[in-house]
Amino acid sequence: MFARSDARWAVGSGRTKQQVNPRESRHRSISGILLLISFSNAVNLPSTASFRCIKPFFYVDDFTCAGSQAASAVIDQNRRKSVTPVAANNEQLPSLSGGLYAFFFDVDGTLAAIQSRPDEAFIPEPVRQTLQSLYTLSNGALALVSGRPIHELDMLAAPLRAPAAGVHGAERRGADGELHRVSLPASMGQELSAALHTAMAKWPGTQLETKGMAFALHYRRAVQYEDEVMQLAYSLVERFPTLALQPGKCVVEIKPQGVDKGAAIQTFMGEAPFAGRIPVFIGDDLTDEKGFLAVNALQGISVKVGEGSSQARYRLKGVNEVHAWLEQIKLQLEQDKTTSVRSQGYESLSGRI
């Protein structure tokens, strides 16, 4: 549905996109995708960690929606209430009354506030209870879709153990509990690990997170090394063409090509209990953009958390607003369930009469 084409991304907010210093821009060709990068240390941009890490601008159009037409047809057949499309980034979220929905949630920056260290993140207890309720009310059509490994997602969402796509979809656990995992050749993984450890040891405050088939290079606490970290990541992807980069908020990840949140959501939507439902995806970061595109292609509800340009159709201000909306959805689904039970009772009674 979408033609593969050039993509570009630049660090900075949408409002200040035009302020990015063109002298800082550079072109790099990676696996057929042209990336135009403008680092946020341009002279007329604030060089604070919060600006550089929290307000990225992102534009991408290299997306292939394999299988989305079939899934759309199933949704159209089973939809009980249509969702009216609105202009991109509309602030008003649609009511989820009367529909059958499949929920996909990013975690960091969406369900859990971003912390200075990834291991400090948490989902508040009341929100975990709400997630558990949504999982039950949607008959299990709820999945976490994150850059974290699945075992971390399970710990963060406990006691909920929902379907999940970890490491941007490089590992995926379906509703049947079966785990699907992409792996790197052992020699490549060892070579990458050694190169990354050696290089990043020279940059205090940076953090290397190894995920088996992927590596996350964090620089939230050492933004002065952003250029060096990015250079390192690019050099390794150029050396290993089967890998791809995934930039995020003060992090860049090296992962297998073809792995992204959009593909993970599409796969879920072809399986029970997600198939035939209207997808809802909430995320906050660059890595969520392909998820938004996949959900848009399925006529679903895509919600961007925070500022910055996005392909999402709706927007929530922050994590607290996400929590409030989840509670609202839960109450709505409970009300729908009560209404449905009552109407079934009336039908049964009138049938006996």
Residue 280 · residue 148 · CB < 8 Å: no
Q: What's the min distance (Å) between Cβ of 74 and Mg ion?
A: 28
The residues, ordered by sequence, that sit 6+ positions from 92 with a Cβ below 8 Å of its Cβ are 86, 314
Cα dist. 101→10, 195, 313 in Å? 33, 44, 16
DSSP per residue, 47-102: --HHHHHH--EEE------TTHHHHHHHHHHH-SSPPPP--TTBSSPPP-TT--EE
Cα dist. 22→26, 29, 46, 57 in Å? 8, 18, 16, 15
The piece of 45-53, 92-100, 277-285, 336-344 that touches Mg ion (CB under 5 A) is 277-285
Q: What tokens does 230 get?
A: 């990015």
Binding mask 281-310 for Mg ion (x = CB under 5 A): ---xx-------------------------
Can you tell me the distance from the alpha carbon of 4 to that of 111, in angstroms, rounded to the nearest whole number?
31
Nearest by Cα to 279 from 100, 110, 108, 145: 100
Q: What's the min distance (Å) between Cβ of 145 and Mg ion?
A: 9
In terms of CB distance, is 154 or 284 closer to Mg ion?
284
Q: What's the min distance (Å) between Cβ of 283 and Mg ion?
A: 6
If one asks whether residue 152 binds Mg ion (CB under 5 A), the answer comes out as: no
Q: What's the min distance (Å) between Cβ of 338 and Mg ion?
A: 34
In terms of CB distance, is 107 or 297 closer to Mg ion?
107
The residues, ordered by sequence, that sit 6+ positions from 262 with a Cβ below 8 Å of its Cβ are 63, 65, 290, 291, 292, 293, 294
In terms of CB distance, is 28 or 128 closer to Mg ion?
128
In terms of CB distance, is 163 or 248 closer to Mg ion?
248
CB atoms within 10 A of CB 282: 26
Catalytic, 108? Answer: no
DSSP 3-state of 265: helix
Q: What's the min distance (Å) between Cβ of 286 and Mg ion?
A: 9
The piece of 22-30, 39-47, 260-268, 276-284 that touches Mg ion (CB under 5 A) is 276-284
Binding mask 84-113 for Mg ion (x = CB under 5 A): ----------------------x-xx----
| Residue number, nearest CB to Mg ion | 109
Active site residue: 76, 106, 119, 336, which one?
106
**Amino acid, res. 254:** I
Binding residues for Mg ion (CB under 5 A): 106, 108-109, 284-285
| Catalytic machinery residues | 106
